[in-house]
Amino acid sequence: MRALLAFFAIAPLAAQTPAEPRDILRELIGINTTDSAGDNTRAARAMADRFLAAGYPASDVRVLVPDGFPRKGNLVVRLHGSGAARPVLFLGHLDVVEALRADWSFDPFQLTERDGFYYGRGTSDMKGDAAVLVSTFLRLKRENYRPSRDLILALTSDEEGGPANGAQWLARNHRDLIDAEFAINADGGGGHIKNGRHLFMAVQAAEKVFLTFKLETTNPGGHSSRPGKDNAIYQLAAGLVRLGQFDFPVRVFDVTRASFERAAHLYPEPLGGAMTRIAANPNDASAIATLSALPPWNAQLRTTCVATMLSGGHAENALPQRATAVVNCRLLPLDTPAEVQQTLVRVLADPEIQVSVMTPAKPVAYKPMNPRVMDAIAKATAKIWPGLPVIPGMSTGASDSIYIISAGIPAYGVSGMFTDEDDNRNHGKDERILVKSFQDALEFEHALVQEIGASSATT
């Protein structure tokens, strides 16, 4: 691998004013971008106007709207570099989940500052990070920063659900505008706070794959006054009991191994010791038992499949002719949908339980962590929070990274926003972020972009 080459920025002309990032956040929160009634295009254009006013050429500020979806616009901005290395994409989304005023203590679509917090729908997921990204790219322009590579910002629609996912649409229709060596997705990772203390910086270096199956049994049925042992509901229930007692095999790979190794010292026994042992030996039975008993850590060990919906029968006085269940699986990046379906069939152990795909997986080709990217994140973290551990991890949920990775661009979830582990209000009532966390995230993002922009190393 080639050595790092440093490309230094021209001396800053003017730092951003403290009010600007807050004003950007206020403007974003004030624009409803829900799927039902919001307008993502309006938010994209509002941010585009800021870039144009800052001196970005119109050719480098693009608001792109899919045909047939006028409210689902996306923003792509490019800061040109020297061309010594391939571009890097910084990714986020502008849409938010629904929020009813009656459910909140404040207007969810108006930024409210109170008791050291910013409140509003999207503050934590993820208009806070979007405001940080916009503020950072504006600041770099004022500083006349010229990185070694082009830096691309993409703020997209429908990550939270909807008919026009922007990341997927851009990858399919405007790949040239977002093509990059790798992507930094601000909708992943982020800092952890526990009991008021900054615990560690998490980097989303992998994520599980979403896959849902439909299970079904059928039966001729009959009158409920003459029941036999042959019953569609019982038959399905017996298979589900077998599934509930089954654990997929443990598979530790580079991301989860590093996560266990680096997080072990942050947690007391027996959890910390189990993390250390599983990283050294994935077959350690006692470590597996300890971690498997805790759902968040069990999900890091293996693929999981769980029944989430159940229905059966057609009348209270009739034997059921049909019973169905929905089983949602979250696959390790190393497992395939075909393997998981074969395992389900084997565990259900009843050929009369029909197993079919309900929501197909969007599998991605997993690539090992890029040490140079991780090093840049660690250096930026150390500048803002000296001594804070940086821990890669696997998200058990889903993000737009899956579409970027599917397009052949490795993605890392990185955010400078810190959240209390015991007070995560994403998608919930009175969503909020710490004002101090927002301010720190601005400095972290600036440091991270400069670390990445100064490197000409490629994978």
Q: Indicate the number of domains in the chain.
A: 2
- CATH value at residue 232: 3.30.70.360
Q: Mean of the pLDDT values across residues 27-40? A: 97
CB 432 within 8 Å of CB 123: yes
- CATH value at residue 171: 3.40.630.10
Regarding whether 150 and 243 lie in a shared domain, the answer is no
Regarding whether 416 and 391 lie in a shared domain, the answer is yes
Q: Mean of the pLDDT values across residues 28-33? A: 98
Residue 169 belongs to some domain of the structure: yes
Q: Using the predicted structure, report yes or no on whether residue 101 has a pLDDT greater than 80.
A: yes
| DSSP label at residue 327 | E
For residue 109, what pLDDT band results from cuts at 50, 70 and 90?
Answer: very high
Q: What is d(CA 93, CA 34) in angstroms, rounded to the nearest whole number?
A: 12
Q: Using the predicted structure, report yes or no on whether residue 1 has a pLDDT greater than 90.
A: no
What residues make up the domain containing 325? 209-359
In a 3-state reduction of DSSP, which class is residue 300? helix
Q: What is d(CA 204, CA 184) in angstroms, rounded to the nearest whole number?
A: 10
Regarding whether 185 and 72 lie in a shared domain, the answer is yes
pLDDT at 11: 31
Regarding whether 346 and 229 lie in a shared domain, the answer is yes
Q: Which residue has the higher pLDDT, 213 or 205?
A: 213
CB 56 within 8 Å of CB 142: no
Regarding whether 377 and 323 lie in a shared domain, the answer is no
Regarding whether 63 and 31 lie in a shared domain, the answer is yes
Residue 39 belongs to some domain of the structure: yes
Residue 7 belongs to some domain of the structure: no
Regarding whether 407 and 284 lie in a shared domain, the answer is no
pLDDT at 456: 57
| % of the chain residues with pLDDT over 90 | 87
Classify residue 388 as exposed, middle or buried by CB count within 10 Å of its CB (0-12, 13-18, 19+): middle
Classify residue 430 as exposed, middle or buried by CB count within 10 Å of its CB (0-12, 13-18, 19+): middle
Q: Helices 19-30 and 40-53 meet at what angle, rounded to 10? A: 150
Q: Using the predicted structure, report yes or no on whether residue 5 has a pLDDT greater than 80.
A: no
| DSSP label at residue 305 | E
pTM: 0.85
Structural element, H or E, at residue 442: helix 435-453
Q: Mean of the pLDDT values across residues 249-269? A: 94
- 10 Å Cβ neighbour count for 260? 26
Q: Using the predicted structure, report yes or no on whether residue 415 has a pLDDT greater than 90.
A: yes
Q: What is d(CA 371, CA 57) in angstroms, rounded to the nearest whole number?
A: 34
What token pair was written down for 190?
A: 């982020």
User: Dihedral angle at the C-alpha atoms of 374, 380, 382, 384, nearest 10 degrees?
Assistant: -150
Residue 10 belongs to some domain of the structure: no
Q: Using the predicted structure, report yes or no on whether residue 449 has a pLDDT greater than 90.
A: yes
What token pair was written down for 388?
A: 């804070």
Query: What would the 3-class secondary structure string for 189-249 be?
Result: CEEEEECCEEEEEEEEEEECEEEEEEEEEECCCEECCCCCCCCHHHHHHHHHHHHHCCCCC
Regarding whether 347 and 213 lie in a shared domain, the answer is yes
Q: What is d(CA 126, CA 114) in angstroms, rounded to the nearest whole number?
A: 19
What lies within 8 Å, CB to CB, of 337 at 6+ separation is 209, 211, 331, 357, 360, 361, 363
Q: What is d(CA 211, CA 4) in angstroms, rounded to the nearest whole number?
A: 40
Q: Using the predicted structure, report yes or no on whether residue 175 has a pLDDT greater than 60.
A: yes
Residue 51 belongs to some domain of the structure: yes
What token pair was written down for 338?
A: 């075909």
Residue 157 belongs to some domain of the structure: yes
Regarding whether 228 and 289 lie in a shared domain, the answer is yes
Q: What is d(CA 294, CA 298) in angstroms, rounded to the nearest whole number?
A: 6
Q: Domain end: 313, 329, 359, which one? A: 359
For residue 55, what pLDDT band results from cuts at 50, 70 and 90?
Answer: very high
Q: Using the predicted structure, report yes or no on whether residue 82 has a pLDDT greater than 90.
A: yes
Q: What is d(CA 231, CA 254) in angstroms, rounded to the nearest whole number?
A: 46
Q: Using the predicted structure, report yes or no on whether residue 237 has a pLDDT greater than 90.
A: yes
Q: Domain end: 312, 338, 359, which one? A: 359
Q: Mean of the pLDDT values across residues 196-206? A: 93
Residue 9 belongs to some domain of the structure: no
pLDDT at 458: 47
pLDDT at 3: 33
Q: Using the predicted structure, report yes or no on whether residue 42 has a pLDDT greater than 50.
A: yes
Q: Using the predicted structure, report yes or no on whether residue 174 has a pLDDT greater than 90.
A: yes
Q: 416-438 pLDDT, tens per residue?
A: 999 998 888 888 899 999 999 99
Q: Mean of the pLDDT values across residues 237-264? A: 96
Q: Using the predicted structure, report yes or no on whether residue 459 has a pLDDT greater than 80.
A: no
Q: Mean of the pLDDT values across residues 352-365? A: 91
Q: Domain end: 341, 359, 377, which one? A: 359
For residue 363, what pLDDT band results from cuts at 50, 70 and 90?
Answer: confident
Regarding whether 190 and 93 lie in a shared domain, the answer is yes
| % of the chain residues with pLDDT over 70 | 95
Q: Mean of the pLDDT values across residues 194-217? A: 93
Q: 60-74 pLDDT, tens per residue?
A: 999 999 999 999 999
CB 145 within 8 Å of CB 42: no
Q: What is d(CA 159, CA 93) in angstroms, rounded to the nearest whole number?
A: 6
Regarding whether 261 and 171 lie in a shared domain, the answer is no
Residue 262 CA neighbour count, 13 Å, CB half? 19
Regarding whether 178 and 35 lie in a shared domain, the answer is yes
Q: Using the predicted structure, report yes or no on whether residue 123 has a pLDDT greater than 90.
A: yes
Q: Helices 254-263 and 271-280 meet at what angle, rounded to 10? A: 140
For residue 18, what pLDDT band results from cuts at 50, 70 and 90?
Answer: low
Residue 13 belongs to some domain of the structure: no
pLDDT at 425: 87
Q: Mean of the pLDDT values across residues 227-240? A: 96
